Structure 1
């Protein structure tokens, strides 16, 4: 191990990973050769670690400046990668830059230069123009999900960012799809191509379809959700308006669900995803925004309420299930005038829905919003202690806790929630009175 560099073995031991998979090993080997490389791998295959380990190899503990930059197409993906890097416990500072929250927060985080910056194209370009990012020592650039990052609308900003990095020595591009041209401005130097894509078919992923008799497929969707009962499902729509309409009608019909799309404010997005993660809701209705960057365990069903616009979209949507050894099912709902897309095997199973239906049992969890987070020095242990001591909750009544910068979410058993809220309404966390309520 070079002086000033972190041991990969030590990081893997900390993550409790005994051995890297074939793709991760290949990316480390490519990185050692010093060449640029393109990593193509399925979602859920450990691709994030596949590029973070080569990045870590290049980071020098004796260098106090920013050394690597990761460009991503969405804030959710940025936050997920940041979380993975933090879990590696390297001691290197990392920060995220993305739209939808105050730029000043990020400016404060950039004053003491992070070794690694992860961000979306628009916000990164903004910081570069303002002189907030030290560019002269950045030697490694990663374009994660580059097929999306290089789409029209992002190209101009990505071109500006890459053009601002005058001392790059390594470029790493990753994607879960192949079909995209890489523009000349990336300046790849004879890149090695690592293709670990398995294609759309996976033994762990079953693909089925159901026929809707009506052009408006909402009744079919409702009965399908009743059929799959309480197992977690993501319902994909092609437009934001359709997401909200679908979510609203399902709610009226008695299906507990949350919705998620790009026009929501960041706290609303966080709340929706948290409720889906922690079991407050088993159904997430969303646009294709959720087809990338969301690493939520144990999603059993992907429902294509609207047919995907391209094969790439189909692959990315389905990539939310059947991840890391788990199995999953993708179901397409076809209207009377719709056919299976040409890239879907015509022999897939046609499922029929029973005439009678039973509403799924309501989730046993609800989510509390706490108006305090990391910046208030509040952590998960504080929240468990507070709810146990002041709210008289048993350990088994407290579920998943997520602590953000300025607020937190905690799943609690629904049957205990109102009593606990009464007990804690005048109590303090860390000697501070904070708002606590059922998350909207």
Structure 2
């Protein structure tokens, strides 16, 4: 695999894994591939390498399309492609992103387009995406994409690809019937799903005396301490209610669900990634496609409706040889779901716990990003020069198209903000504030 040496180096890995090698080989021999592999196993590289092999530098226009069920997953795939440094232009299209920006990016057709069904369908209808040259289609997490609600858009997109030759479908579960409109004929199925659960994943449960389990959740989080924790709820309304109640009790939390504006979603995830909050309250939207390292605990505040949901939620932790714990909160009228096949250890909670230590970071919003030619180096320079910060006082920086988020040591935040609020970045006056 010498030809992939630079790509392996970019990802700091020594060799491709068995699944990725099998995918490359199968894609060289067949036009229709179903790739089943566990969450966190490197599936994205497993389908992007075959896509790369199919691209031709001598052919102008768009040659390949990747459809993902959520904007976060689409952005994650784009990030992997850019890390690969292929030399091929890529554009990512998703709801919540300025359509005008995407339209400008599509004027000079990228070789690869990645996006969500609704936004891709919209661009195709507006003829912003020229479909004649697209010969390769990837449906990532197809089990989710093909759920009701996405079917119509996916069917429209596939019908709009007159010269489609290759189809690659990927998933971490094997539960869905593939509709005829996908056009999958005699597919080669690569099944790398492993039945055994990660040994690094411990399963625990705690019983709640009250039907409203919020007090149990609060005491549980206090017992777990200041560790990275995702709390899963089944509904958006429950996410906001649960987040609010935990905040009222003195915990530093952020919440995340599909009805939020894109900037709010970006801010919430950034605060969770950079340590401004160690508790993320969310729907199952966060069960897929989010690459957040070092998550220690998964709490099933609401029990998952299906085994697949349970598996995907748990897949957020115990990744890449790290250990993690999934904890189910069982209410008085609930029992342990049948799909929990592992031995679960009961946790007994005390009545009183001290609040965990508050996070040491806060997040600043800066109203400039990639489209303003602002990068991470610019932001570090600005904060050290104008904000009088040392480099160790600046944490994780995330630069989006039109804005950026940066973690600042909380003890320095107020003084720094006062120094920089009226200063310019790249000779431009921009909004700078504590991220909402």
TM-score range, shorter chain: over 0.9
Is residue 38 of structure 2 the alignment partner of residue 55 of structure 1? no
Is residue 120 of structure 2 the alignment partner of residue 130 of structure 1? no
Shift of 1:346: 6.8
Is residue 162 of structure 2 the alignment partner of residue 158 of structure 1? no
Q: Distance in 1 between matches of 2:306 and 2:417?
A: 47
Aligned to 1:372: 368
Is residue 184 of structure 2 the alignment partner of residue 188 of structure 1? yes
The one-character-per-residue Cα deviations of 1:100-132 (angstroms, maximum 9, x if unpaired) are: 232111111100001110111111111111111
3-state SS of the aligned residue for 2:328?
strand
Q: Distance in 1 between matches of 2:98 and 2:366?
A: 20
Q: Is the 8 A contact 2:19 2:46 kept in 1?
A: yes
- Distance change >3 Å, CA 334–CA 200, structure 1 → 2: farther
Q: Is the 8 A contact 1:232 1:299 kept in 2?
A: yes
Aligned to 1:296: 292
Q: Distance in 1 between matches of 2:36 and 2:120?
A: 24
3-state SS of the aligned residue for 1:338?
coil
Picking from 377, 389, 409, the partner of 2:385 is 389
Picking from 320, 329, 335, the partner of 1:333 is 329
Is residue 403 of structure 2 the alignment partner of residue 423 of structure 1? no
Matched residues, number: 436
Q: Distance in 2 between matches of 1:63 and 1:315?
A: 41
Q: Is the 8 A contact 2:203 2:343 kept in 1?
A: no
The one-character-per-residue Cα deviations of 1:129-158 (angstroms, maximum 9, x if unpaired) are: 111111111111000000010011110110
Q: Distance in 2 between matches of 1:206 and 1:16?
A: 28
Equivalences for residues 262-281 of structure 1 within 5 A: 262-281=258-277
Shift of 1:7: 4.0
Is residue 2 of structure 2 the alignment partner of residue 14 of structure 1? no
Is residue 64 of structure 2 the alignment partner of residue 68 of structure 1? yes
Aligned to 1:233: 229
Q: Which runs of 5+ in 2 are unaligned?
A: none
Aligned to 2:80: 84
3-state SS of the aligned residue for 1:132?
coil
Q: Distance in 2 between matches of 1:339 and 1:348?
A: 13
3-state SS of the aligned residue for 1:64?
coil
Q: Distance in 1 between matches of 2:281 and 2:26?
A: 39
Larger mean CA deviation between 67-76 and 342-351 belongs to 342-351
Picking from 273, 297, 301, the partner of 1:305 is 301
Picking from 426, 432, 438, the partner of 2:434 is 438
Picking from 72, 77, 96, the partner of 1:100 is 96
Q: Is the 8 A contact 2:62 2:131 kept in 1?
A: yes
3-state SS of the aligned residue for 2:362?
strand
Q: Distance in 2 between matches of 1:218 and 1:11?
A: 46
Aligned to 1:203: 199
Q: Distance in 1 between matches of 2:12 and 2:196?
A: 30
Q: Distance in 2 between matches of 1:201 and 1:11?
A: 29
Aligned to 1:287: 283
3-state SS of the aligned residue for 2:397?
strand
Is residue 323 of structure 2 the alignment partner of residue 323 of structure 1? no
Q: Distance in 2 between matches of 1:204 and 1:57?
A: 35
The one-character-per-residue Cα deviations of 1:64-121 (angstroms, maximum 9, x if unpaired) are: 2101000111111000100110011111111111112321111111000011101111
3-state SS of the aligned residue for 2:428?
coil
Shift of 1:383: 0.2
Aligned to 1:168: 164
- Distance change >3 Å, CA 213–CA 330, structure 1 → 2: same
Aligned to 1:359: 355
Q: Distance in 2 between matches of 1:384 and 1:219?
A: 41
Q: Distance in 1 between matches of 2:5 and 2:139?
A: 25
Larger mean CA deviation between 198-207 and 391-400 belongs to 198-207
Aligned to 2:38: 42
Q: Distance in 1 between matches of 2:61 and 2:30?
A: 21
- Distance change >3 Å, CA 408–CA 115, structure 1 → 2: same
Shift of 1:354: 2.2
Is residue 383 of structure 2 the alignment partner of residue 411 of structure 1? no
Q: Distance in 1 between matches of 2:247 and 2:392?
A: 28
Q: Aligned-pair RMSD on alpha carbons? A: 1.3
The one-character-per-residue Cα deviations of 1:277-303 (angstroms, maximum 9, x if unpaired) are: 000000000001111110000001110
Q: Distance in 2 between matches of 1:96 and 1:25?
A: 26
The one-character-per-residue Cα deviations of 1:150-202 (angstroms, maximum 9, x if unpaired) are: 01111011011111112112110000111000011111121111111113622
